[in-house]
Amino acid sequence: MNKGFTLAELLGVIVVISLLLLLIIPAIINGVSSREDDVELIQNEIIFEAVSQYLDRDKETYSNVSGNIYCVSIGDLLETGLLANPVKNVVEDKEFDSQDTISVKITNEGVREYSFDSECVPRSPKDIIIEVKPSNSQWSQSKIVKVVYPDFEGTNQYDNGNGWQSVSNDTFELTYNKDGVIKAQTIDVNGNVLVQNTKKVEKIDTALPSVIKLSKRGWNNNAQQQVDITMTDTKSGVAAYYIGKTDKAPSTTSDKWIKFELSPYGGIGTVSEFLSLGKHYLFVIDRAGNILQYVGEGTDENGAISIEDNTPPTCELKPSGTFGTNQWYTSDVKITLNKNDTESGIDSYGLVSSGNPTYNKKDTITHKENTAGITYYGYVRDKAGNTSDCSLFIKRDADGPVYQSGGNVTTGKVTEAKFTDSPSGISNIQYLFSTSSSTPNANNSGWSSSKTGTTACGNKITVFAKATDNAGNYTIRNLGQYNTGSCVSASVVNNDVLICPDNQEKVSWSTCTKLYNNYIKVSGVWASGTTVGFNIKLHMNDYAVSYQVNAKLNLCVAKAGTSSCFYKIASWTQKYNWAPVGKVFYNENITLNISSWPAGEYKIITTGGSRGKFVFTKNQQISIFRVNR
């Protein structure tokens, strides 16, 4: 059977637990407190060891003379590298200030006692104390050297490089404007040195820093120009620089200074800044606090760095399209605005077809309409406010001429065809007489301004007209056809022609007469290049003679109804003796090329001869033919 605790038992347990807690909690609290003390002790041991090393570095100054008190700051330890920044105060959970001071007191036994003392006052009753302000580890334009002599009977002296000089007080101050050495001593009445101290006074810089070079170069998208500045300082080194729009430097403690630390004794460095449009002023400060206002290359006589852009941007309109003749475009024309500004940069631009400055952020336009002339304008403005403009005049005619009327076709001819063209106008109209009905090529060599074509037989001729406008566009139109008819061969009725002389006694005139009406008949239509041919035989119908005969005959072609020689055929001369009657005097095949002769009727006639003279006594016509076109 389970049995619970009684109330008395529970109260007893609670009392026991309470007594145990009362014993344990103080021990825990004391343990935590003890650990905090240990941390503080370790922290102080580290700092005090650094102070000890600081004093040991200059044992002549910090001698272990009983009663002396030395004051060493956290800043001194950081400056000499004995401590590394930051130095944490773990007890107060914050960083030590560089002005926090450790007091070092020398006991009668020559032991150093360390403590934190913000009101530490150095004391060296038996040594000469030389104190430099600001610290020798700090650069400055000048330093105050304070000399404190011990309370000895004797004469106090100092030497700052100009020989020993006596002082009447136990304490005095000197101002150093350059690095040097201070010596101090106390001598008794016999000239014996009772105590002496020497300290080097350094890190004094009264010279201004310098700017080796200031140059300007590229711009950014905010209309700011890059300025490169090369600086140096021959002694303490550059600490910072400032660029502003006023010619007044900020105070040495102002946060407007831009840190740019260069090593002492001539360290050189370059910085780059982008400056906006206007006037700017440059100041450089060194570690000693010397401030230079730069006036020189890249500034005006007042030291102003002027950031300006007086150069207008570039502006060019560039067309692209198919170029015809006479500066006409025969396609859509794309116009591009080319723009650039190498200084402050492009701020705005525009492309329009009017002469009013417009900045519409367009840099391309495509012109599609035919026009006898239109001008496009480009406008560009840079971020400095400089503007420029450009223009482009274009003409566009992308369509060929339009046929209106005319161009009527008859056999071998065509009337003038009428065309119109807008906007460039008609340049010329040419014709082509073709045996093919297919539309010819525009570059065909047969095109000409002539309205007369071939009439050669056996052809079906199609006439085309080509109208070309001043932009080079052309239109080819089929004007119609004509037929030259079929070709017919020539027929010869009689190719024997007898010529009888008229001055012989024994001429058989009846024989000659019979031949007067026998002549060559040629008919038909002759195409270009056709020839007509026939044979002429000249007979001498004469009795034999007893002497030598010279017989001549000249033949030519004359137009029917005339006796004028149109075309000379031939001239014959024949010698013969005792020629019998009926002897063939001459036998000649005649071929006439009539391809270039005008249409009409032609005849062959004699133009004279001899033995004495050959003539036709009745009908001089010996052949007749017709040429058609």
Residue 91 confidence (pLDDT): 78
What DSSP character marks residue 509? Answer: H
Residue 185 confidence (pLDDT): 92
Residue 540 confidence (pLDDT): 44
Residue 587 confidence (pLDDT): 53
Over 80: is that where the pLDDT of 609 sits? Answer: no
More confident residue, 450 or 545: 450
Residue 3 confidence (pLDDT): 47
Residue 60 confidence (pLDDT): 74
Segment 567-574 mean pLDDT? 71
Segment 385-391 mean pLDDT? 95
Segment 415-438 mean pLDDT? 96
Predicted confidence (pLDDT) per residue in 230-252, tens digit: 999 999 999 999 999 999 999 99
Residue 600 confidence (pLDDT): 73
Split at pLDDT 50, 70, 90, the class of 613 is very low
Segment 119-130 mean pLDDT? 80
Segment 145-152 mean pLDDT? 89
Residue 469 confidence (pLDDT): 97
458: left (phi over 0), alpha (psi -120 to 50) or beta: left
In whole angstroms, what is the distance from residue 555 CA to residue 588 CA? 11
More confident residue, 622 or 117: 117
454: tokens are 């071939």
Phi and psi at 125, nearest 5°, equal: -60, -20
Segment 562-577 mean pLDDT? 71
Predicted confidence (pLDDT) per residue in 508-557, tens digit: 434 333 333 333 344 344 334 445 555 555 444 343 343 444 556 677 77
3-class secondary-structure state, position 268? strand
Whether the Cβ atoms of residue 183 and residue 202 lie closer than 8 Å to each other: no
Cα 123 from chain centre? 77
Residue 510 confidence (pLDDT): 41
For 126, counting Cβ atoms within 10 Å of its Cβ (0-12 exposed, 13-18 middle, 19+ buried), the class is middle
More confident residue, 420 or 458: 420
Segment 11-30 mean pLDDT? 56
Segment 183-188 mean pLDDT? 90
Percent of the chain with pLDDT over 90: 54
Segment 598-613 mean pLDDT? 61
Split at pLDDT 50, 70, 90, the class of 18 is low
Segment 545-571 mean pLDDT? 69
Residue 154 confidence (pLDDT): 85
Split at pLDDT 50, 70, 90, the class of 268 is very high
More confident residue, 163 or 221: 163
Cα 184 from chain centre? 75
Whether the Cβ atoms of residue 267 and residue 233 lie closer than 8 Å to each other: yes
Split at pLDDT 50, 70, 90, the class of 194 is confident
Residue 22 confidence (pLDDT): 59
Instruction: Check the CA dihedral 152-158-163-168 and report its sign.
Output: negative
Segment 105-109 mean pLDDT? 76
- Name the residue among 120, 183, 119 with its Cα closest to residue 156: 183
Terminal Cα-to-Cα distance of the chain (whole angstroms): 156
Least confident residue range of 21-35, 174-188, 253-267: 21-35
More confident residue, 145 or 497: 145
Predicted confidence (pLDDT) per residue in 45-95, tens digit: 999 999 999 999 888 778 776 667 889 999 899 988 998 888 888 878 888
The H or E element containing residue 166 is: strand 165-167
Over 60: is that where the pLDDT of 411 sits? Answer: yes
3-class secondary-structure state, position 513? helix
209 prior amide bond cis, ω within 30: no
Over 70: is that where the pLDDT of 494 sits? Answer: no
Over 90: is that where the pLDDT of 624 sits? Answer: no
Split at pLDDT 50, 70, 90, the class of 406 is very high
364: left (phi over 0), alpha (psi -120 to 50) or beta: beta
Place of tokens 């998208």: 221
Which CA distances in Å does 411 have to 461, 482, 485, 525, 627? 9, 5, 10, 14, 16
Over 90: is that where the pLDDT of 335 sits? Answer: yes
Predicted confidence (pLDDT) per residue in 451-481, tens digit: 999 887 778 999 999 999 999 999 999 999 9
Segment 502-506 mean pLDDT? 38
Mean pLDDT of the chain: 81
Residue 542 confidence (pLDDT): 41
In whole angstroms, what is the distance from residue 362 CA to residue 419 CA? 40
Over 90: is that where the pLDDT of 402 sits? Answer: yes
The pTM of this model reads: 0.51
